[in-house]
Amino acid sequence: MHHQSDLIYGEAYKKYKVSSPCNVVVVGAGTAGLEAACTAAEVGCHVTLLEKTDKIGGLSVEISKIPAKKRLADFPTYLKARAGQLENLTILTNTEGTLERVRQYHPHLVVNATGSVPILPPIDGLAQQLQSSAPVFSILDFIAEVERYPEDLSGKRVVVVGGGAVGLDVVEFFVSRNAQITLVEMLPTIGNGLDASSIASVKEFLQKGQVRQLTGTALTKVLPDAFLVNQNGTEETLPFDYGFVCLGMKAYAPVLAELSDGFLGEPVEVLNIGDSVRARRIIDGTDAGRHLVLNALDQMGFLDIIR
Ligand SMILES: Cc1cc2nc3c(=O)[nH]c(=O)nc-3n(C[C@H](O)[C@H](O)[C@H](O)COP(=O)(O)OP(=O)(O)OC[C@H]3O[C@@H](n4cnc5c(N)ncnc54)[C@H](O)[C@@H]3O)c2cc1C
């Protein structure tokens, strides 16, 4: 077993090398999948990375379109450059990872890294309004349109439901555009689970934007131009020009069970890494991409330590 501190980005090949031919298939070219694919290729595996969209980098590329998150683009940019130098790594875009396709590459190791999707509970009217032309948006809709919002939104009413990390990114964006913001959170506090320094900056922009904070308040109904909320049994209607439902992200692993079942009883290891395990930070997925892949290769007897 490897010591995690032994391994830094892009340097596993200095310590480990595969001792016999090994095929690896990675499903999903976000930051976690890219790190897994690069690491496996760098130690000498023959790697195929399947990405269903026409782009690589996944959610990190999208999020970096939010002005305050611009620097996150460094992750996928670095990983793309690393991948580009590896002749034994093939990236296929517009290619969905299915059991049938993965099998074509005769893998010894399969890595599922299919990311996450927004949490959208069955709240009255939510699914319907998200699909309509009403100004009701999920976090992914917000990011898709982020470059189109006018610089000055003075007087515009923005209501954000969800006071966790995702909702607070949206609030911060509209504070910088002078909108009139209401933040709705079901828990008693805003920014649950954030570290102390993030909390401090959250407090600052909530104050700067004079954000109305409704904690202990649940969303009960979504109308085309208003949210109905309930605080301790009291209903309130919150009209908006833009309404956002940001209740966090949840793991998305549509092919994992098919892959695990499909290779059962065969000498093929199937791993799940990154947001498709649990929505988390980029660094958590890339760490897993590196360590779990090397550990799996080691346990399967493919790795030699270079002395
Ligand atoms: C609003 C917001 C702000 C965030 N801010 C930060 C932050 O400041 N710092 C931080 O570290 N993290 C942040 N995160 C979290 C971070 O974006 C994710 O943890 C990270 O991008 C997930 O990487 P991933 O590779 O696991 O998944 P993704 O990047 O989602 O990649 C999954 C890939 O798999 C592909 N795929 C899915 N199914 C298939 C299939 N069947 N076949 C082939 N391909 C498939 C998808 O198209 C996608 O390209 C934020 C998240 C959100 C929503």
Which residue in the block uniquely carries the two structure tokens 């920014």?
A: 191
* pTM for the structure as a whole: 0.94
The alpha carbon of residue 49 and the mean position of all alpha carbons in its chain are separated, in whole angstroms, by 18
Question: Residue 212 in contact with residue 181, Cβ under 8 Å?
Answer: yes
**Two tokens at 29?**
């070219």
β 180-184/212-214 pair status: parallel
pLDDT, tens digit, 9 for 90 and up, residues 52-85: 999 999 999 999 999 999 999 999 999 999 999 9
Band the pLDDT of 13: cuts 50, 70, 90: confident
What is the Å distance from ligand 1's center to 60 Cα? 6
The ligand 1 atom at the shortest distance from the C-alpha of residue 284 is 19
- What is the reported pLDDT for 6? 55
What is the Å distance from ligand 1's center to 273 Cα? 11
What is the Å distance from ligand 1's center to 117 Cα? 9
Which residue in the block uniquely carries the two structure tokens 């990675």?
A: 26
The ligand 1 atom at the shortest distance from the C-alpha of residue 116 is 30
User: What mean pLDDT do residues 207-218 have?
Assistant: 98
Report whether pLDDT(9) > 60: yes
CA distance 66 to 162: 18
pLDDT, tens digit, 9 for 90 and up, residues 113-123: 999 999 999 99
β 217-222/212-214 pair status: unpaired
Report whether pLDDT(198) > 60: yes
**Two tokens at 194?**
């954030």
The ligand 1 atom at the shortest distance from the C-alpha of residue 286 is 25
Report whether pLDDT(35) > 50: yes
Report whether pLDDT(3) > 50: no
**C-alpha closest to that of 165 among 210, 116, 127:** 116
Percent above pLDDT 70 for the chain: 97
- What is the reported pLDDT for 260? 97
Please calculate the CA angle 250-251-256 and round it to the nearest 5 degrees. 155
